[in-house]
Amino acid sequence: MATPSAKLEPAEPEDLPGAWAVYLACTRPEDQSGCRQAAPDRPDLPPPLYAHLLLTSEGAFWVARYEDQVVGFAAAVTRGRLWWLSELWVAPGFRGRGIGSALLRKVRRASRGVRGRVLAGLTGPDGAGMVLGLRAGMWARYPVFTVEGGQEAAERLRRANPLPPGARMARYDAAAKLGPRSPLLRLDREVLGGTRADDHVFWMTHGGRTCLLLWKGNRALAYAYLGTGGEVGPLAAAGPQGLRSALGLVVSKAARKSETVRLRIPGINQVALKAVLDAGFQLVADSQLLASEEFGCLERYLPGDESLF
């Protein structure tokens, strides 16, 4: 349980800068227990992601306060059958007091219909996050590797994985038209077991990513998101050929914008791992997928980040 001096409350918009400050404190070079991304251009401003989580978490975004200062926060989102622990951070000076456990309980109780859903999340190299997940019934499944490669490796990947005859990749800008028959949502159902229209709209409008669709005729073989700084993901494919082809082309496009391309690949996705390692990409980090049970077909998937997977 949290100590009496730590007060837990549902997050409000004015809490987001404080939550962002906690995240930055947790990911300084001297405290790399859960570093997720490169240093921000504007460390004084919380990213649009936090507002998106607050809007779509349905009350499952909580903060811990000490003397009116945010010292920890947690957020979870429900997407279909999947309950995803997006954020769980406690400021370095306040760990070991039960704040993380208490926040995790709060977001679980706040989530509607969590019973019967798959509980999942990613944890970094610190043991504390792993222990909290295990206590919540989320068991270690397999690693998620972060790989990086330069422009030469990206070109080798593209040449080794050409588009199938008759296929084409095109930008997809239908953020406001994500109906039930959207190719993005169809691929989500096939690969993840559920849909997440809100997240696609966020990525295309405020998330700084470009959505690309790989088509063959009228059928979408894969979608892939391309970030502004060489980040690739999420990527979902209907099959191995679409996965390899989409991966090769989107990584090549990313290399035109950045000297370094970065991807996250689940350990179960042997097709993608072999393709990038054969092309010369390097493993630079890993995290652990925790889940109460297996979900989706992650051998055909690359996550975009830890917060929305």
Tens-place pLDDT, residues 246-279: 999 999 999 999 999 999 999 999 999 999 999 9
Hey, what are 203's tokens? 């990525």
Hey, what are 263's tokens? 């991807």
Measured distance CA(207)–CA(1) in Å, rounded: 35
List the domains of the chain with CATH numbers. Answer: 7-137 (3.40.630.30), 144-302 (3.40.630.90)
Per-residue pLDDT of the chain (309 residues; tens, 9 = 90+): 444 578 999 999 999 999 999 999 988 754 444 434 444 445 567 899 999 999 999 999 999 999 989 999 999 999 989 999 999 999 998 988 899 999 999 999 998 766 768 999 999 766 677 888 888 899 999 999 999 999 999 999 999 999 999 999 999 987 667 887 899 999 999 999 999 999 999 999 988 899 999 999 999 999 999 999 999 999 999 999 999 999 999 999 999 999 999 999 999 999 999 999 999 999 999 999 999 999 999 999 999 999 999
**Site of tokens 């949290």:** 2
